[in-house]
Amino acid sequence: MANQGKIWLFVKPTVGLPVFFSAVAITALALHAALLSNGRLTAWWSEFPLAKPAAVAAAPVAAPAAAEVK
């Protein structure tokens, strides 16, 4: 595996690090904006505080019968 530190021989850290962190921040903001602008991902949020617990049926569920091995 090559030494990845050699990049700083070509790019000054005072330029490379801000560019790298800016690219990471822009990518993260774009990703979050894309996810939140989609209505399907946020539609449940308005109903969440008003939601009531679901009624749970008290009837037991029978386990399936085991298959016979021949």
Query: Do 21 and 29 form a contact (C-beta atoms < 8 A)?
Result: no
Q: Say what the pLDDT of residue 3 is.
A: 74
How far is it, in rounded angstroms, from Cα 55 to Cα 53? 6
Q: How many CB atoms lie within 10 A of CB 58?
A: 5
The encoded tokens of residue 66 equal 């085991």
Q: Say what the pLDDT of residue 6 is.
A: 87
Q: Does this model's pTM top 0.75?
A: no
The encoded tokens of residue 58 equal 């008290």
Q: What size, in residues, is the chain?
A: 70
* 1 has a pLDDT exceeding 60: no
